[in-house]
Amino acid sequence: MSNIKSGDVDVAGVRVHYDEVGEGEPVLFLHGGGPGAHGMSNFVRNMEFFGEHYRAITLDFPSYGASEKVRIDSPVWGYYGKVVGDFIDAMNLGKAHLVGNSLGGAASLMLALREPAKVNKLVLMGCAGGYGVLGPAPTEGIKALLAFYEPPGPSREKLRAFSEALVYDPSHVTDELIEGRFKVASDPESVEYMPIRLRDGKPPVMEEIWRERLDTVTHETLMIWGRDDRVNPVEQGLVLARQMPNARLLVYPKCGHWAQWERADEFNRDVLAFLSDSQG
């Protein structure tokens, strides 16, 4: 990964870490919200590929990875949507394509709703904020996420259970992946400031984006969903996509919540074709 450069930038008073590679139109890769998540942990199989065609940038959201840890008291999706918009300003990008997984997808949608001029095209994978109509809530993946920080506290076994809920094929969850994410997730500051966890038995406030005016999001949008997503099931993608006038939904069989990891080659080709298509 020698071509990837790292840096930090002040984003509305918060230090945000980022990694980037390549030149040209900016593409922001926005990670999910699970324990140990950060930009490169989510997109290590994608960044170099897109750096050959674009200025590929992935950031660690505040309270994740190497970014500053802060207490987040406002609704989660809207907070991180504002972070993305402020990051675009801080980096003088003007506007950017957004590629968001789970939390990153929800943040992308919130920015597109509130500051549409900062968004070029949208790519949303297993996007949070939808509505599951076919199964009970919380899902298997969300239960595993919330259980991670509950007594007796973080463990590699809990992290493996959560990580295996992200994929269709558990062989994609390597010991190296677990060790890397556990080191981040078990850091005392990460434990204290993790935004998506139970506090006093209550989950964080997360907006129901499917209730928003998604018909006003006119950006060209590609939604990629694993048919076997156990975190945000595929019907949530249908609920979101049918409300957005320029959205298309691509479903990968034998794939879970982490399409950009589990089906990296296919994902890279499909997203590159979408971003480079001048007709949409």
Q: What is the CATH number of the domain that holds 259?
A: 3.40.50.1820
- Of 100, 226, 101, nearest in space to 167 by CA: 226
pLDDT band at 280 (very low <50, low <70, confident <90, very high): low
CA distances from 271 to 125, 178, 251 (A): 11, 27, 13
The two three-digit tokens of residue 16, written as one number: 């945000």
CA distances from 104 to 40, 43, 127, 133, 243 (A): 13, 12, 7, 22, 19
By residue range, what is the domain housing residue 243? 5-276
Catalytic residue IDs: 257
pLDDT band at 107 (very low <50, low <70, confident <90, very high): very high
Q: What are phi and psi of 122, to 5 degrees?
A: -115, 135
Range scoring the smallest mean pLDDT among 38-47, 156-165, 167-176, 191-200: 191-200
pLDDT band at 137 (very low <50, low <70, confident <90, very high): confident
Express as a percent the part of the chain with pLDDT over 70. Answer: 97
How much is the mean pLDDT over the chain?
A: 93
pLDDT value at position 134? 65
pLDDT value at position 22? 98
Q: What are phi and psi of 159, to 5 degrees?
A: -65, -40
pLDDT value at position 101? 98
Looking at the 3D structure of the chain, how many domains does it have?
Answer: 1
pLDDT value at position 205? 67
Helices first, then strands: H and E counts in the chain: 11, 8
pLDDT for residue 136 is more than 80: no
pLDDT value at position 196? 86
Span 177-215, pLDDT tens digits = 999 999 999 999 999 999 888 777 777 767 788 787 899
This prediction has a pTM of 0.95
Express as a percent the part of the chain with pLDDT over 90. Answer: 85
More confident: 80 or 74: 80
